[in-house]
Amino acid sequence: MKSNGLHQKGTTYIFISPWVLTLLIFWLFPLFYSLYLSFTDYSLGTQALNFRGLSNYMNLFSDPQFLASLKNTLVFVIGTIPFTTVFALLLALLVNRKIKFATFFRSAYFLPSLVALVVMALVFTSLYQK
């Protein structure tokens, strides 16, 4: 039996719609609403919103504490990303190569994941037994 292209397209939209709705509700709406609120003088105690334009951003980028935290974040990112990437690649090579202790390295690498799964299984088993 030949499938109808239109029917297949409709099925695709049905299956992808929960993901799209989740994206819109929990990611895009908060993102754009926060962006909108950043241009106002919104406060939790008041209901009134007064448009302030770029003055919030001007205050933010002229604050020395914010600039110091931005510099610290940049130094942290530049200092950690290359090392963690190289370490992860070396660890992947160590796990995938045929070397003397390859089985030990694989076990040591995957053991934390397995322990977490076993602990979760034991917790849920004890919860459901009561």
Count structural domains, the chain: 1
Q: Using alpha carbons only, give the angle 122, 123, 128 rounded to the nearest 5 degrees.
A: 100
Q: Which element (helix H / strand E) includes 100?
A: none
81 within domain boundaries: no
Q: What is the pLDDT of residue 98?
A: 81
> CB neighbours of 59 closer than 8 A, spacing ≥ 6?
none
33 belongs to a structural domain: yes
Burial class (CB in 10 A: 0-12, 13-18, 19+), 80: exposed
The single-letter code of the amino acid at 88 is A
The answer to whether residue 78 is domain-embedded is no
Per-residue pLDDT of the chain (130 residues; tens, 9 = 90+): 455 555 677 888 999 999 999 999 999 999 999 999 999 998 888 888 899 999 999 999 999 999 999 999 999 999 999 999 999 898 888 778 788 877 888 888 888 889 999 999 999 999 998 6
Residue 118 lies in a domain: no
**Inside any domain, residue 16:** yes
Tokens representing 94 are: 């160590």
Q: Give the residue numbers spanning the domain of 7.
A: 1-62
Instruction: For 35-70, give one letter per residue: b (16+ CB within 10 A) or e.
Output: eeeeeeebeeeeeeeeeeeeeeeeeeeeeeeeeeee
Residue 101, in any domain of the structure: no
Query: Does a structural domain hold residue 15?
Result: yes
Residue 31 falls inside a structural domain: yes
Report residue 126 as tokens.
């004890």
